[in-house]
Amino acid sequence: MRIALGVSGGIAAYKAAELLRLLQEKGLEVQVVMTRNACEFITPLTFAALSGHKVITEMFGGAAGASNVESAIEHIALAQSIDTLVIAPATANVLAKMANGIADDFLTTLCLATKAPLIVAPAMNVNMWDHAATQQNLETLRRRGVRVVNPDDGYLACGMTGAGRLADPQLIAQSVFETLGLSEDLKGEVVLVTAGPTEEPLDAVRYLSNRSSGKMGYAIAEASRRRGAQVVLVSGPTREDPPAAHTFERVRTANEMAEAVLRHAGKATVVVMAAAVADFRPGTVHEGKIKKQQGTPVVTLEPTTDILAEISRHRRDGQIIVGFSAETAQLIENATAKLHAKNLDLLVANDVSQNGAGFDVGTNIVTLLFPDGRNIALEKMSKFEVANRVLDQVVEIRRKSGV
Ligand code: CTP
């Protein structure tokens, strides 16, 4: 696999050499692209020697000048051939250009020209990091699906202390491996994932359902597979294309979902219930269509099986159970109650009333809750990124349990 490593101008540019080494150790072919400012901090020669490839620093081939059209075309061909573009360090300036579609050098042109996933690891002075402009630009990029490896807090080269220090190259590399599906930390696990809504028929043409799109569960399934797990995906009706899975089952009602999930649960080492299962269904389903002439129907609802509670009651040894909770008020209190009532290892709570969270959007804002009372509030990020953060915790739970 081929990736491009973009290096922009910051004191942390030298750490990109360590990142390059980590990427190469995984067998990746790395093409380094440097901005002009980056060359003030570290010479292209360093990266050329380490990567075994000429470093691209100029749109038109540097010394050859603007007439070197051939090299410009060659360089643009890079956009089509890479599997990921990671920029580390990414300065406030580069992030601003990316957010606004400005392409005034090779690196930012590559950002626009490539369809490969983008990862940025920002590094800058704390005030620049905190600035509303930078935060808004990051927000824009995240919304577009760019993965952001957040900087660390600590002592900064400018003498100040705070957020802005380039993340550990190990973490940045990990993010690249996850994106490429090269992180195998779920190898040996069988992950059973549910996704989407259920439909509870009222008559032959009508049903009760909810606004779930299936995106969150599909992201969990996709991320699990990329991280080496065997994936069983049980999905309610969705408009999304399901991701590749070892086993895929399409169901409609809560009952069908319960049946499928309980059938697969015996072999699952991890269960992630991301589906928005109907809690109630119409007590009777009319044969044919209910006609207006029959008068206004009175619908009586009856509870469905709580699949998650059922799984938890019959938990296999070492099985990790993750639930989701959609709330519109008192997120933490309600979600904590569910976590304990259903005896879960992890509950992913989201306030679906917030912008950029919940149903049918590409992003989510979740808090991860644990039985020991810890909780981790994640910022708004793509559902794929949320999926990876959830799976990071699954790996951590497995590591701690030692099973
Ligand atoms: N769930 C389930 N079976 C159901 C209902 C929900 O397995 N019949 C699972 C969901 O997949 C989710 C979790 O339970 O992982 C929480 O669902 P939610 O509907 O938010 O919680 P409830 O416990 O049903 O509580 P309430 O609807 O009162 O908020």
For residue 57, the one-letter residue type is T
Q: Strands 366-369 and 346-351, how do they pair? A: antiparallel
Active-site residue numbers?
158
The distance in angstroms from the start CA to the end CA of the chain is 33
Rounded Cα distance between 185 and 28, Å, is: 18
pLDDT at 64: 44
**pLDDT for residue 318 is more than 90:** yes
Among the listed residues 202, 169, 189, 120, the one whose alpha carbon sits nearest the alpha carbon of residue 19: 169
Task: Check if 2-180 and 190-401 are the same fold.
Answer: yes
Report whether residue 220 contacts ligand 1, using a CB cutoff of 6 Å. Answer: no
Percentage of residues of the chain with pLDDT beyond 90: 79
With H, G, I as helix, E, B as strand and everything else as coil, classify residue 172: helix
The answer to whether 359 touches 352, Cβ cutoff 8 Å, is: yes
Instruction: Please tell me the residue having the least CA distance from ligand 1 atom 17.
Output: 325
Where do the structural domains in the chain lie, given as residue ranges? 2-180, 190-401
Residue nearest to atom 16 of ligand 1 (CA): 325
Q: Is 219 in the pocket of ligand 1 (CB under 6 A)?
A: no
Q: What tens digit of pLDDT does each residue of 22-65 get?
A: 999 888 999 999 999 999 999 999 999 999 999 999 887 654 44
What does each C-alpha distance from 223 to 68, 200, 324 come to in angstroms? 42, 29, 17
Q: What is the pLDDT of the chain when averaged over all its residues?
A: 92
pLDDT reported for residue 403: 66
How much distance in Å is there from the Cα of 377 to the middle of ligand 1?
20
pLDDT tens for 252-292 read: 999 999 999 999 999 999 999 999 999 999 999 999 999 99
Question: 304 CB less than 6 Å from ligand 1?
Answer: yes
Q: Is 90 exceeded by the pLDDT of residue 118? A: yes
Residue 207 Cα to ligand 1 midpoint, Å, equals 19
Sequence-distant (≥ 6) Cβ neighbours of residue 352 within 8 angstroms: 326, 327, 328, 358, 359
CA atoms of 91 and 392, how far apart (whole Å): 27
Question: Does residue 308's CB lie within 6 angstroms of at least one atom of ligand 1?
Answer: yes
Helix segments in 125-194, DSSP class H: 126-130, 132-143, 169-180
Per-position b or e across 265-297, b if 16+ CB within 10 A of its CB: beebbbbbbbbbbbeebbeeebeeebeeeeeee
CATH class, range 190-401:
alpha beta
Residue 10, ligand 1, Cβ within 6 A: no
Distance of alpha carbon 314 from alpha carbon 54, whole angstroms: 58
Alpha carbon of 344 to ligand 1 centroid (Å)? 12
Measured between alpha carbons, how far is 376 from 45 in angstroms, rounded to an integer? 42
What is the CA 133 to chain-centroid distance, rounded?
Answer: 24
Sequential DSSP letters for 291-320: PGGG-SPPPPEEEPP-HHHHHHHTPPTT-E
| Nearest alpha carbon to residue 142 among 167, 123, 118 | 118
**pTM value surpassing 0.85:** no
3-state secondary structure of 255: helix
User: Cα separation of 35 and 30, whole Å?
Assistant: 16
Helix or strand run (H / E) with residue 111? helix 106-113
Instruction: Record the tokens describing residue 134, joined without a space.
Output: 């930078």
Domain covering 2-180: architecture = 3-Layer(aba) Sandwich (3.40)
